[in-house]
Amino acid sequence: MKKWILPLVLFAAVFLVSWLCQPYTLICQEYEGLFLNTPDAWTRAFAQPWPLSGIVSDFLIQFYRDPVYGALICAALVVLAFLLCRGILRRTGLLTEGLPALLAVILWVFLAKASAPKVAISVVLLLFAAWLLSLLLPRPKKTFAWKGDLPLALVPVLVVAWVIVRNPAVQRTERFSRVKIDALYGVWDDLLKTVPPSVAQEDPELTPFALLALSGKEQLNERIMSYPVYEENDLDMVYYDGPREYYTSLLFKACLYQYLGCYNEAIHNYYQWATQQEKGTSFIVLRRMVELYYLQGNYTLMEKYCRILDHSLMNGAYVRHFRAQAAKGELQEPTPPAERAAIPVISHDPLYNLILLQKNGFDTPMLRDRLPITLLLRKEERESIQP
Amino acid sequence: MRFLPVICGALLALSCVRPVFTDSAGFPPVVPDYIGVTVPEGMAEISFEMADGRPFKIEKTQSGDTLFYQVRAWDKKTGKGVRYAPFPVYVSHDPIDPYLAYRLIEPGYEGWKEMGLYTRELATYREHAIVTNDAVNGGCVNCHNFPGGDPSRMVFHARGAGGGTVFRTGNELKLINLTTVGPHKQGTYPAWHPSGRYLAFSSNSTQQSFPIHGSQQVEVYDHFSDIILMDLQTDSVTAYPCLAEGSRMETFPAWAPDGKSLYYCVADSTARVVENRGRIHYELEAIDFRDGQFVGEPRTVFASDSLSVSFPRVNGKWMLFTGSAYGTFPIWHKEADLYLMDMETGQVEAASALNSDDTDSYHSWSSNGRWVVFSSRRLDGRYTRLYLAHFDGEGHFGKPFLLPQKRYEHNVLRLKSYNVPEFVQGDPGTLNKEVSQLFGR
């Protein structure tokens, strides 16, 4: 019974911390991950370094869409690493809980970082291989054990649990993941709760998302002054420094144009966002293509993306829902060339785009809310650079 | 207890509805449409599925040069099945080049993640990369060309930091940044002279725009373009005034098979290109070429107020080109179709046998002129796929067919478009390592 105490504590700790403190981080990993049973996906998977760990981690991450499953998987991986390490050491005659616990919590740190699940899987696979090899060793004649090993082994587990819960980087990742998901689905109240003015002050990257939520609630005019807005870019995220900001700005623009009803531009930005992702696309981008092409009445392309998602495990209900919707929908006819040549095109200037959209019938409450603020900020910027 | 497996087996067999078939005089509704197509001898087996997703079985028979596919399809729930009339697939003995080369790229916008030039053996489903953008620091690889389908000679561009144009001649590979030589113009669309010594390039300043609504999501256009000539013996580049006029945009060079003239498309330069894009119509012109020099004045070969010409490709007395309502980038134009010109009479007709309701664009002839490959978006309107068709040499095309894959579904699942299909007479091999070295990797 005693030998199960630490694995149980470890499992409970990892599960609870992941589920309670990192649910959005887990969901976001599924959103930006991809596991498809298609020929191209397999070719790509085997072309990458460490293909097996890549395939296993991609496979597991698709279950993270439900954070309970995600937390269970993380906990299971950490405990598995612990058990394998303990098993290997036992074959050498070392009866210790401390060393396996140490390795398991390091693995937990990798999983909590979210950016390196593949590393964690690689470690588990290597441990598994090592454990198989250790079975070939003869049973040890002598064994070594320490008194007080178990209480000592609990220390790193509790310390790491505390560090992950309190770690600012982990908290920031969780907050940013929550903001991304709220923005993608227009959960404005939750987004504003996640990014109050004080948070925007310390994390300016989140300000445009908070302002997007305000305009989604048609409250931008009243509440913008409570947020730290110094320039137009705080509102529309046109300029960016480095790949991370570029990645964020593409997601922001995709969401913005989607809520403004300009689906062509939203698709444009989702495509661009996809090219910045590890596999060139992701579950969320594929699902967003289904939704946007459905909204556009382009059921042929919607069906293509449905069929691709059908080659994953967790999207069956989603695909069935959209296929049923499309069966009742109205098909969009292609625009004739003469008409098409006169359609205005989007620019890199958000103010120009808002005016263009308004002139072309995209007169949404969000647009009405954002246009005067964009104008004011532009005017402010122009005046500030005048001598 | 010992009868349990037998009982379970019997229950399982009873639970499956055995289909009952009725005969139909019609052909089956299959995707892609392979009914009545002409395929080259020795090509990989075609694969298709029922358009309505029903399960089906195929019986294949052969009579002379015609293959017959009899399809039996049934409804899983009701068990009602239909035995359709066998549909024919004609086998032509006209040889076809054994390989196709093309680029695979996400059909997106300004950016990409992975792209590469690939080759596919037509007798099998085997596809492999010639070069991918991994080898060129993630930049763009595009506009590949093999002179006369010769796999040992190739040109393509590698954009991005340290980029340029890569020339392959046998085992020799060299990288030249065309903007640093001669008229300092970068190369875009290449055309290799039949002698192998010269290469004509268009040099285009290309941009994209994104319409705010409507079914067309991207418009691509040139602000200006010229044609330049490269001599591969001296690595020198020359711009000729008549092909580099500031008031005109010259593009899409293509040599006549005898190398005595160059065909290209040309339109007047326009201010505010985006707003005026509907008025831009590219004409087809030609200029004579003698002793390594363009001579004489350009002459108009075809001009129309309602059709913009791109990608002229000559095959004996026939020229195939893409025609769209306006502009210079037909792949985003649903109305884009292929047109065949009889160069002896100047008569132009839509190649109706090849065209569809969606985009039909970039095309190339096989080395014997009996087959054509072209790109089409008819499957889903977005992802370009390759179609092949037989040509009888008398101005008639056979019904085009989708490049066969092991399973048709591969065409649906693949998230990349096929660009610039070219026939190749052998396997060009893999150049990733060599190209990486050119890029100091």
* Residue among B111, B213, B414 minimizing CB distance to A343: B213
Residue B136 lies in a domain: no
- pLDDT bucket at A114, cuts 50 / 70 / 90: confident
Question: What number of other Cβ atoms are within 10 A of residue B293's Cβ?
Answer: 10
Nearest to B213 among A264, A268, A298 (CB): A264
Under an 8 A CB cutoff, do A264 and B414 touch?
no
For residue A113, tell me if it sits in a domain.
yes
**Mean pLDDT value of segment A50-55:** 92
Residues B308, B268: Cα–Cα separation, whole Å: 12
Pick from B210, B326, B409: CB nearest A337: B326
> Taking CB atoms and an 8 Å cutoff, what residues of chain B touch A362?
212
Chosen from B118, B207, B213, B430 to mutate, greatest number of chain A CBs within 10 A: B213
Residue B50 within any structural domain of the chain: yes
Domain span including residue B237? 172-418
Q: Dump pLDDT digits (tens) for B89-110.
A: 999 999 999 999 999 999 877 8
Residue A325 sits at the chain B interface (C-beta within 8 Å) = no
- What average pLDDT does the segment A270-282 reach? 93
Cβ partners under 8 Å of residue B159, min gap 6? B136, B139, B140, B141, B142
Q: Both tokens of residue B112?
A: 């990409």
List chain A residues with CB under 8 Å of B410: 38-39
**Residue B432 domain flag:** no
Q: Using 50, 70 and 90 to split pLDDT, how confident is the model at B14? A: low
Q: Is B278 on the interface with A (CB under 8 A)?
A: yes
pLDDT value for B13: 56
Measured distance CA(A204)–CA(A219) in Å, rounded: 20
- Give chain A positions within 8 Å (CB) of B328: none
Nearest CA in chain B to A260: B212
Calculate ∠ Cα B345-B350-B354, nearest 5°.
Answer: 125
Domain boundary among B92, B116, B142: B92
Instruction: Give contacts of A 70-99 with B, CB under 8 A.
Output: none
How does residue A94 score in pLDDT terms, banded at 50, 70 and 90? confident
User: Is this complex scored with an ipTM above 0.95?
Assistant: no
Q: Are residues A126 and A255 in the same domain?
A: no
Share of chain B above pLDDT 70, in %: 96
Residue B207: CATH number of its domain: 2.130.10.10
The full 3-state SS of A210-234, as one line of letters, equals: HHHHHHHCCCHHHHHHHCCCCCCHH
A51 and A158 assigned to the same domain: yes
* A40-49: pLDDT as tens digits: 999 999 998 8
Domain co-membership, A122 together with A201: no
**How close, in Å, is residue A376 to chain B by CA atoms?**
24
Q: Where are the beta strands (DSSP E) in B98-210?
A: 99-105, 115-121, 127-132, 141-145, 153-158, 164-169, 172-176, 190-192, 198-209
Contact A362, A261 (CB under 8 A): yes
- Indicate whether A256 belongs to any domain: yes
Last residue of some domain: B92, B110, B132?
B92
Predicted local distance difference test score (pLDDT) of residue B9: 62
Does residue B154 sit in helix, strand or coil? Answer: strand
Q: Do A280 and B210 touch (CB under 8 A)?
A: no
Shared domain check, B189 and B323: yes
- B238: in domain: yes
Please tell me if residue A271 touches chain B, with a CB cutoff of 8 Å.
yes
The number of domains in chain B is 2
**pLDDT band at A330, cuts 50/70/90?**
confident
Mean pLDDT of chain A: 92
- Residue B206, pLDDT > 60, answer yes
Cβ-Cβ contacts under 8 Å for B364 (sequence gap 6 or more): B313, B372, B373, B374, B421, B422, B423
- Quick: pLDDT tens for B259-291: 999 999 999 999 999 999 999 999 999 999 999
* Interface touch B209/A345, C-beta < 8 Å: yes
Percent share of chain B, pLDDT over 90: 84
Contact B413 A39 (CB under 8 A): yes
Question: Cβ separation of A345 and B274 shorter than 8 Å?
Answer: yes
Rounded mean pLDDT, A240-254: 89
Instruction: Mark yes or no for CB contact A345/B213 under 8 Å.
Output: no
* CB spacing of B106 vs A346 below 8 angstroms: no
Distance from CA of A25 to the nearest CA of B (A): 24
The residues with which B102 forms a beta bridge, in sequence order, are B118
pLDDT for residue B5: 61
Residue B297 identity? E
Output the average pLDDT for chain B: 93
Residue A67 counted as domain residue: yes
Task: Please tell me the total count of domains within chain A.
Answer: 3
pLDDT grade, residue A113 (50/70/90)?
confident
Residue at B257 is within a domain: yes
Regarding predicted confidence, which is higher, A14 or B10?
A14
pLDDT band at B322, cuts 50/70/90? very high
**Same domain, residue pair A31 and A74:** yes
Tell me, yes or no, whether A123 and A101 share the same domain. yes
Query: Mean pLDDT throughout B180-199?
Result: 92
Domain of residue A61 covers 2-139+148-166
Residues A257 and A172 in one domain: yes
Same structural domain for residues B185 and B299? yes
Query: In the structure, what pLDDT confidence band is assigned to residue B6 with cuts at 50, 70 and 90?
Result: low
What was the pLDDT predicted at A379?
87
Q: By the CB < 8 Å criterion, does B412 face chain A?
A: yes
Residue type, B303: A
Residues B185, B60, single domain; the answer is no
What does the pLDDT look like over B368-425, one tens digit per residue? Answer: 999 999 999 999 999 999 999 999 999 999 999 999 999 999 999 999 999 999 999 9
Interchain contact, A307 vs B409, CB within 8 Å: yes
Same domain, A289 and A255: no
Mind telling me how many Å the CA of A4 is from chain B's nearest CA?
40
Residue B2 sits at the chain A interface (C-beta within 8 Å) = no
Residues A108 and A49 in one domain: yes
> Based on the domain organization, do A193 and A256 belong to the same domain?
yes
Give the per-residue pLDDT at A146: 77
Residue with tokens 């002229």: B312
Residue-level pLDDT at A238 = 85
pLDDT for residue B16: 57
pLDDT at B198 over 70: yes
- Inside any domain, residue B197: yes
Same domain, A190 and A208: yes
On whether residue B340 sits in a domain, the answer given is yes
Residues of A in contact with B112 (CB under 8 A): 275, 280
Interface membership of A307 toward B (CB under 8 Å)? yes
- Is residue A119 situated within a structural domain? yes
Closest to B380 (Cβ–Cβ): which among A39, A280, A300? A300
Q: In this complex, which of A40, A265, A298 lies closest to B212 when CB atoms are compared?
A: A265
- pLDDT for the residue numbered B90: 98
Using CA coordinates, name the residue in chain A closest to B113.
Answer: A275
pLDDT of residue A153: 85
The last residue of one of the domains, among B92, B116, B144, is B92
Say whether both A205 and A108 belong to one domain: no
In this structure, are A178 and A285 located in the same domain? no
Give a yes or no: residue A269 inside a domain: no
Query: Does some domain include residue A216?
Result: yes
Is A219 within the bounds of a domain?
A: yes
